[in-house]
Amino acid sequence: MNDIHLSQVDLNLLVVLDVLLREGSVTRAAQQLRRTPSAISHSLNRLRALFGDELLVRDGRRMRPTHRGERLADILPRALEQLAHTMVDPEPFDPASATRTFRLAAPDFMAPLVPPLLQAVGAVAPAVRIELAPFAPTAVRDVAEGRYDGLIAPDAVDNESVRGTPLGSWPWAVYGRAGHPAFARWSRKAWAAHPHLQVRTSVLRGEGPIDQLAAQLGIQRVVGAVVPHFSLAAPVLAETDLLLTVPRMAIGGAAAAYNLDHRKVPFDLPRMQLSLFRSATTGDEPGVRWFLDRVVAAARQMA
């Protein structure tokens, strides 16, 4: 058996072989490929050396394929057609007729993003469905392998299998019920004197940026309650004297709905930077890019 490695193959030779097998004539193959008969003969000699087979033998005025040539005559047209197809620009995405599902993973503090995203997508793609997934420990790998179309996460994600697009940055704020006693004389001391509500997801473990920075400044807060989702925060704050320090977009319209008040964080806490990540291998597919463009636009409206 003559083992052939792709690194040895000049794809132009396969094009010549495909025409030779169909035409059964060096002259006609040369005419079709707009090359000289001697150039086609030279290519045939290279093909014979490559495959270790004569491939075509003369039978009177016509050349007939060998057994190996017949097998190649069956395989080559489809293989070359598939190769040509992969080199053509992909079909454009038509949102008006699309009936597919896009999947987005994000922390649940991005919930305020969902209504404008659904409106933007539904206005032009009525049959498109959106599935949201929580930010799980496996989220980056899931995006890299194409199980999710996109992931919203802090800029700190460092993985060569994904590509990121900055969404913006958001300031932090401290929320509590209207009339909260801490807000009367707001200061670092007031921030530390009252118990805090903490949202602890399956991803965020240990001390977050708030407690790390506060510790550097010699400030220590007391956590009075812990909830697993940001959606639970506003109703808890409305009925207690707990405080919550979060990026402002995490509360959104819930502040008015639950009659919450807020103040600036009483120390310099860097704004939260977020990016939208996509797979390095599948993230440039036209439909995925269309959907992720809608996510970027909706997120930047919130910044």
- What is the residue extent of each domain of the chain? 6-86, 102-169+273-302, 172-270
- pLDDT over 70 at 21, yes or no: yes
The alpha-helical segments, DSSP class H, found in the chain are 11-23, 26-33, 37-51, 67-86, 114-124, 139-144, 188-193, 209-216, 233-238, 254-257, 286-302
The CA distance from 152 to 154, in Å, is 7
Instruction: Quick: pLDDT tens for 58-72.
Output: 888 889 999 999 999
- The stretch 231-245 carries a mean pLDDT of 96
- pLDDT over 90 at 86, yes or no: no
Sign of the alpha-carbon dihedral angle for 238, 240, 241, 247: negative
Domain 6-86 matches domain 172-270 at the CATH topology level? no
| Mean of the per-residue pLDDT values of the chain | 89
pLDDT value of position 301: 84
Say if residue 219 is exposed, middle or buried (CB neighbours under 10 Å; 0-12, 13-18, 19+): middle
Q: Which CATH class is domain 172-270?
A: alpha beta
Instruction: Quick: pLDDT tens for 123-168.
Output: 999 999 999 998 888 889 999 989 999 999 987 777 889 999 999 9
- pLDDT over 50 at 1, yes or no: no
The 10 Å Cβ neighbour count of residue 120 is 16
Instruction: Quick: pLDDT tens for 257-294.
Output: 999 999 999 999 899 999 999 999 889 899 999 999 99
In degrees to the nearest 10, what's the CA dihedral of 171, 133, 116, 152? 40
Q: Which CATH number fits domain 6-86: 1.10.10.10, 3.40.50.2000, 2.40.30.10, 1.10.260.40?
A: 1.10.10.10
Tokens encoding 157: 């994600």
Q: What percent of the chain is modeled with pLDDT above 70?
A: 93
Residues 183-200 as b or e (16 or more Cβ within 10 Å = b): beeeeeebbbebebbbbe
Q: How far is CA 151 from CA 37, 108, 156, in A?
A: 57, 12, 13
102-169+273-302 has CATH 3.40.462.10 classification: no
Q: What share of the chain is helix, strand, coil (3-state, %, to 5)?
A: 45, 20, 35
Instruction: Quick: pLDDT tens for 24-73.
Output: 999 999 999 999 999 999 999 999 988 889 999 988 888 999 999 999 99
Tokens encoding 132: 């949201």
Instruction: Quick: pLDDT tens for 101-131.
Output: 999 999 888 988 999 999 999 999 999 999 9
pLDDT value of position 4: 59
The pairing of strands 101-106 and 129-134 is: parallel
